[in-house]
Amino acid sequence: MGFKFVAAALAALLALLLALRLDPGVTTAPMQHKLPQDPDGTITKVEGVERITFSVLSHGKRLHCWLFVPPQPLAKPPPAVVAAYGLGVQKDIAMVPLALALAREGFAAVLFDYRHWGVSEGLPRHAAVPQQQVEDLTALLQHLGAPGPLSSKLDSSKMALYGASLGGGVVLAAAAELCRRKDPLSSSIKAVVAAIPFVSGSKTSSKALQERGLLETARVGLAVVQDLVRSVFTAESAVYIPLARSSSSSSSSSSGISAMQLESNEHQIWASRTPLKGQVVDGAWENKLAARSLFWLSRFEVEDLAAEFLEIPTLLIAGSIDTVCPIEAIRDLVSRHQKKQSSSKMVLKEFPLRHFDFLTQQNFPILVSNTVQFIKEQI
């Protein structure tokens, strides 16, 4: 009798949660998944650099990948840099300028879309599960390390990882996990560069609570719970909230909740790379994030794993006035790593910039030059 009552009460609660009116700007309309226009083996010239399309399977889902080949003739296969992007974007929004710069410096640059993003497989679209993204990166590294058609295009015994924002946390976690397991693949990774990295879900969530206030946090929390409940019943769709909005905009479209709330000019920098400002990209990108993602992000803790196990030379590039991935958590990681490991090879470089300031024409060379210099020193 008691069990039936509890079950009925839970069912009623779930029904109530699903029936509650969604916040303005929140939707359950499914996002499209458009297939890639360039199948495996496609060779495309991008600003004079050869790009080869290939795919990798990760937990049964096909990941769409690009390899950018150095334009200059080389006597032997070049070292490879595998790059992972941050929350809410995809490889052709976030990473192509970096890949071109790396290729021109003599590296083979590899970009990929995580499951649920870009033109890779996975439903619902735009669901960010950091641990899955770590798995996707690991599957890609294993693919590159195995003999195959790409073996003549890159030296898989000399690889480096680059990640920005959430991608920074993903590369740190993937490298640390390989070290923890003493996976032979870890010896092939000679350097890790994490730019403006997401390293602590709990600390970042705490900072977001201070920024949002209790009322908006409650509204975001309701959307997260509604989406988690929805995920039990369907994998086809989600409760979507906007990825980002401007904190200073008074328009009705910007008055609801969002995953990121940015100052007006920083929002302009973020939006300038996306279809919101007319950029043409692959797939069916929209300014949407499955609300459940915020739950999984809050549980993604890179700090403990990296401080304890990461033994690969690592460069952290951070903004001292970053409100998206706060500098305090990054400093904590470096401090803990240096205390845990007497021969710590983790370096932090700070710049007086906000999160998306690094993407401007003025500041982007900071990422490129520091990344290239550090990787060349290690390989």
Mind giving me the DSSP string for 46-108?
Answer: ETTEEEEEEEEEETTEEEEEEEEEPSS--SSPPEEEEEE--TT--HHHHTHHHHHHHHHTT-E
Check residue 19 and give its pLDDT. 43
Question: Please, which pLDDT band fits residue 3 given cuts at 50, 70 and 90?
Answer: very low
pLDDT mean across residues, the chain: 93
The region of weakest confidence among 148-157, 248-257, 297-306, 324-333 is 248-257
Report d(CA 96, CA 101) in Å as an integer. 9
Region 7-20: mean pLDDT is 41
Query: pLDDT, tens digit, for every residue of 339-378?
Result: 999 888 999 999 999 999 999 999 999 999 999 999 999 9
Check residue 4 and give its pLDDT. 44
Strand partners, 319: 351
CA torsion sign for 197, 199, 201, 204 is: negative
Radius of gyration of the chain (CA): 21
Q: Position of tokens 């226009």?
A: 37
Reply yes or no on whether the pLDDT at 10 is more than 70.
Answer: no
Region 293-312: mean pLDDT is 98
Check residue 255 and give its pLDDT. 60
| Residue ranges of domains in the chain | 42-201+301-377, 203-297
Query: Cα–Cα distances in Å, from 30 out to 27, 60, 125, 169, 330?
Result: 9, 22, 8, 28, 36
Check residue 208 and give its pLDDT. 87
Higher pLDDT, 8 or 21: 21
Query: pLDDT, tens digit, for every residue of 48-58?
Result: 999 999 999 99
Query: pLDDT, tens digit, for every residue of 226-275?
Result: 999 999 999 888 999 999 999 875 444 446 899 999 999 999 999 999 99
Check residue 11 and give its pLDDT. 40
Check residue 9 and give its pLDDT. 36
Reply yes or no on whether the pLDDT at 37 is more than 90.
Answer: yes
Domain 42-201+301-377 has CATH 3.40.50.1820: yes
Q: Checking DSSP bridges between strand 346-351 and strand 314-319, what pairing results, if any?
A: parallel
Contact 375, 368 (CB under 8 A): no
Query: pLDDT, tens digit, for every residue of 74-133?
Result: 999 999 999 999 999 999 998 999 999 999 999 999 999 999 999 999 999 999 999 999
Cα–Cα nearest to 160, from 171, 152, 176: 171
Query: Cα–Cα distances in Å, from 117 out to 7, 86, 139?
Result: 36, 11, 16
- Residue 265 CB partners (closer than 8 Å, separation 6+): none
Q: CA triplet 338, 339, 343: central angle to 5 degrees?
A: 50
Question: Please, which pLDDT band fits residue 22 given cuts at 50, 70 and 90?
Answer: confident
Helices (H) and strands (E) in the chain, counts: 12, 13
Region 317-325: mean pLDDT is 97
Q: Checking DSSP bridges between strand 61-69 and strand 289-290, what pairing results, if any?
A: unpaired
